[in-house]
């Protein structure tokens, strides 16, 4: 049994297609949410009950403003939590007297207490399998609560869906559940072609019915594309209703 002083961070094992980690899994921490200044101050209240919350927030923000001001002037700063130091980007010839091409950059390094805070943290696998490329859902792009009709717009969601790669296989494929006829969506506007969301119009020739939706792409979540297109694991089901039953047709 773990001691009360020990902490646990759950992690996912990520299966990836990257050749650099072939036959191995990446490990990423499971998200536990996010804390902002207001939430942190709420946690501080029991430790400093004699101070008003508003005063604590003012002190923290004033401290931050002073650190920012000093850092912008090139000072080395030890906040106890992090060390801040200035560096200059780029190089110049020895005879150069101006530094127009160079910029001041602020570098932060964790302090000793921050480096040591994870000394007793234990890692535990949260689930046995987790993929960094997958599909989750497909819905009406205009109104997620509405049904999908012929020639309508839909939004496909998941992780690392972005369609990239100059191969005829790359695109979104809709396979009729009965006839097994396949329909391809190859063109998606740049604005709507995102890693976590694809918004596209159903092909005009696609009739009403039930479809299995799959994605083929060379994108894998990094700037470097896969050498060959691959199909994302799994598929999602989409029911397409006749256009004649849509609100537009009934008006």
Report the CATH number at residue 93.
Answer: 4.10.520.10
Q: Are residues 119 and 157 in the same domain?
A: no
- Residue 59: what pLDDT? 94
Residues 6+ away with beta carbon under 8 Å from 241: 147, 148, 149, 150, 208
Residue 140, pLDDT score: 94
Q: Which of 126, 148, 171 is the last residue of a domain?
A: 126
Same domain assignment for residues 137 and 246: yes
Spatial distance between the Cα atoms of 172 and 188, rounded to a whole number of angstroms: 9
Q: pLDDT: is 202 or 27 the higher one?
A: 202
pLDDT of amino acid 19:
59
**Domain range enclosing 62:** 8-126
- Per DSSP, what are the bridge partners of residue 213? 174, 236
* pLDDT above 90 for 239: yes
Per-residue pLDDT, 130: 47
Q: Is the four-CA dihedral 200, 241, 216, 185 of positive or negative sign?
A: negative
Using the 3D structure, point to which of 126, 141, 169 is the last residue of a domain.
Answer: 126
**Which distant-in-sequence residues (6+ apart) come within 8 Å of 222 by Cβ?**
18
For residue 220, what pLDDT band results from cuts at 50, 70 and 90? confident
Q: Is residue 3 part of a domain?
A: no
How many structural domains are present in the chain? 2
What's the pLDDT score for residue 128?
A: 47
Dump pLDDT digits (tens) for 138-190.
999 998 888 999 999 999 998 889 999 999 999 999 999 999 999 999 789 89
User: What is the reported pLDDT for 149?
Assistant: 93
pLDDT at 138: 93
Residue 70, C-beta contacts closer than 8 angstroms, at least 6 positions apart: 77
Within 92-135, residue ranges assigned H as helices are 112-116
Please report where in the chains the tokens 């999602």 appear, as a residue. 236
Based on the fold, state whether residues 12 and 115 are members of the same structural domain.
yes
Distance CA 23, CA 16 (A): 9
Whether residue 18 is predicted with pLDDT greater than 70 in this model: the reply is no
- Could you give the 3-state DSSP secondary structure of residue 198? strand
* pTM for the model: 0.51
- Domain end: 126, 149, 164, which one? 126
Q: Read off the pLDDT of each residue in 82-104 and give the average, rounded to a whole number.
A: 83
pLDDT at 134: 81
Note the pLDDT of residue 74.
92
Residues 101 and 53 in one domain: yes
Shared domain for 224 and 120, answered yes or no, is no
Q: Which residues of 165-193 are buried (b: 16+ CB within 10 A; e: fewer)?
A: beeeebbbbbbbeeeeeebebeebeeeeb
CA distances to 53, 74, 145, 202 from 139, in Å? 44, 52, 8, 12
Residue 2 lies in a domain: no
φ, ψ at 203 (rounded to 5°): -55, 140
- Report whether pLDDT(199) > 90: yes
Q: Are residues 143 and 78 in the same domain?
A: no
pLDDT (0 to 100) of residue 209: 94
141 and 207, same domain (yes or no): yes
CATH number at residue 160: 2.70.50.70
Query: What is the per-residue pLDDT for 131?
Result: 59
Q: What contacts 178, CB < 8 A, 6 or more positions away?
A: 209, 210
Beta bridge partners of 130: 14
pLDDT digits (tens, 9 = 90+) for 100-146: 778 889 999 999 988 888 888 888 876 544 457 788 889 999 988 88
pLDDT over threshold 80, residue 68: yes
Cα(63)–Cα(57) distance, integer angstroms = 10
């Amino acid at each position: 049994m773990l001691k009360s002083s020990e902490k646990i961070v759950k992690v996912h094992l990520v299966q990836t297609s990257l050749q650099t980690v072939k036959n191995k899994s990446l490990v990423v921490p499971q998200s536990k949410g996010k804390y902002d200044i207001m939430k942190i101050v709420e946690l501080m209240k029991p430790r400093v009950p004699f101070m008003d919350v508003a005063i604590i927030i003012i002190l923290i923000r004033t401290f931050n403003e002073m650190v920012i001001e000093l850092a912008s002037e090139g000072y080395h700063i030890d906040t106890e939590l992090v060390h801040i130091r200035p560096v200059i980007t780029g190089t110049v010839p020895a005879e150069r007297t101006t530094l127009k091409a160079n910029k001041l950059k602020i570098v932060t390094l964790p302090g000793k207490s921050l480096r040591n805070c994870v000394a007793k943290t234990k890692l535990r696998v949260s689930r046995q399998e987790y993929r960094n490329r997958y599909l989750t859902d497909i819905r009406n792009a205009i109104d997620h609560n509405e049904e999908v009709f012929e020639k309508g717009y839909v939004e496909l969601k998941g992780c690392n869906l972005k369609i990239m790669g100059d191969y005829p296989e790359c695109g979104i494929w809709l396979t009729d559940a009965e006839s097994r006829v396949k329909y391809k969506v190859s063109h998606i506007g740049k604005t709507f072609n995102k890693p976590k969301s694809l918004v596209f119009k159903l092909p005009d020739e696609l009739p009403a019915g039930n479809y299995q939706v799959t994605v083929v792409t060379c994108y894998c979540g990094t700037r470097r594309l896969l050498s060959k297109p691959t199909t994302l694991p799994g598929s999602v089901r989409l029911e397409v209703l006749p256009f004649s039953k849509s609100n537009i047709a009934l008006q």
